[in-house]
Structure 1
Amino acid sequence: MLVPFIRNHQFNLINKQVGHLQNTCNTVSDPKVVESVRIGTQTKVLEAFPEASELQQQLLRRFAALNSRGEFQQYLDSLEPFRTEIEPLEEKQLKKLFPKIKKLKVPDLTTVDFRNITYLGWTDIASNRLFIVYRLNGQYVGIEGRYTPTNKKGVCFLCNRQEEVALFSAITKAKPPKASPDYYKAIGNYMCVNSDACNKNITDVAMLEKFVYDVTGNYEA
């Protein structure tokens, strides 16, 4: 019996590959091209699940044999019972993650669907601060930093999609040996202003996890 095993970013990747195959089936008449896309999309999906069991792989492969829009939608719907969610957060947990911020403004957690997010992100416009909470190696990690809106679209370093972005700059806790007490280093990247859009687009957590490691300075966390 299959249990939930598809994380949000993995479902996004499946959705993207299914959409690519569906578009190919609808617009390309050359069977060799269609077959090539079937193989390519299936390969990309399976590569996102290196530890998948045989039963899980069978489920993941099914879309590659489909043809019509209705079939592809039914397939995506059939994956819903196998999607996981990150462990729901409570306000007190968020405050513990950011102990130095006495008046932390937290999002309304009752509106968050923890199955549809890879990370929890929100902004405090009054202080120009952006907050990220991500579950890494079994525990939540909180990162906060300054964000500078660009008021234009750009490529987000987390989801690699064109969205409205801001420059997010966080001070790393990592220090080189013999660093002076006042040493600090900021790490900056352009990321989505709207974390909901980012969570719908993200298909890989490698950049997110590298960023978390680089900022926290704890490569064993």
Structure 2
Amino acid sequence: MTEPFIRNHQYNHIKKQTQILQHAQTTVTDQKVIEAVRCSTEFEVIEAFPDATDNQMQILKGISELKTPEDCEEYLSSLEPYLMAFPHVTEKQIRKLFPKNKKLKMPNLSTLAGQSLTYLSWVDISTNKKFIIYELNGKIIGVEGRYTIANKDNTCSLCKGHGKVALFTAKSKSRPANSSPDYYKAVGNYMCVDSDECNEHITDVAYLEKFIRSVIGS
């Protein structure tokens, strides 16, 4: 049996491609155009899994056979057994990630839907801090920073969705050679106020990983 191999953001990407295909099939009458969209969506899905095995590839290629909304639902449901869960983290592990926060507010770990998470995040309103946990190259990384809700809607740098965002600003550990002891660099980005909603829409982790690396200095 094929082991889970689809991460949350990849599953979101697949869902997006099924929506594009379904939209074409319900709004376009030219079969050549529909076939072009069908090939494009299959390519987009396969492209998101450069290291897929032959068995995994066969599972993913099912998107090329979809014709009705019911087909799409069945296809997406068939992928659920292959969804990878977010790494299990304990309260003890989280405290080790943020050792300077002696009164760290903890997320409710018992209610987490691990298969629907690309990153774990929560906000401590009392300190105006946001905390992010992400698995980078097999290692669990914790990033914290200031959290300021924007006055108007904007585009989230992680999921590219437009809506309510907050500016998340973190101190970077990266230091230029021969920098003074007082050197300070902050990196910030707009992110969805609702991280659960962000996790539902994120289809690419390149920017998230770039941001985390800029903070941890790797």
5 Å matches for 1:158-197? 158-197=158-197
Write the letter of the residue equivalent to 1:152. K
Residues 163-191 of structure 1, C-alpha deviations (whole Å, 9 max, x = no match): 21011100000100011111110001111
**Which secondary structure does the structure 1 equivalent of 2:88 belong to?**
coil
Q: Counterparts of 1:74 and 1:151 in 2: how far apart (Å)?
A: 41
Equivalent in the alignment of 2:50:
50
Which residue number corresponds to residue 126 of structure 2? 126
The one-letter amino acid paired with 2:147 is Y
Tell me the equivalent position of 1:216.
Answer: 216
**Counterpart AA for 1:137:** N
Partner of 1:63: 63
The alpha carbon displacement at 1:152 in A equals 2.7
CA separation in 2, counterparts of 1:172 and 1:142?
13
Within 2, Cα distance between the matches of 1:122 and 1:11?
Answer: 22
1:151 is displaced (CA, Å) by 3.8
Cα distance, 1:23 vs structure 2:
1.3
1:95 aligns with 95
Secondary structure at 2:145 match in 1: strand
Structure 1 counterpart of 2:113: 113
SS in 1 for 2:17: helix
The number of residues matched between the two structures is 218
Instruction: Report what 2:139 is aligned to.
Output: 139
Structure 1 counterpart of 2:18, one-letter code: V
Deviations 1:143-162 (A, max 9, x none): 00001101432111111111
1:127, distance to aligned residue in structure 2 (A): 1.1
**Is there any run of 5+ residues in structure 1 with no aligned partner, and where?**
none
Match of 2:134, SS state, is strand
Find the counterpart in structure 2 of residue 30 from structure 1: 30
Q: Distance in 2 between matches of 1:62 and 1:139?
A: 32
Question: Which aligned pairs between 1:78-89 and structure 2 lie closer than 5 A?
Answer: 78-89=78-89
CA distance in 1, matches of 2:14, 2:46: 9
| Cα distance between partner residues in 2 of 1:122 and 1:160 | 19
Runs ≥4 residues deviating over 2 A: none
> Distance in 2 between the 1:155 and 1:36 partners?
30
The one-character-per-residue Cα deviations of 1:66-107 (angstroms, maximum 9, x if unpaired) are: 111111100100001011112111111111000001100011
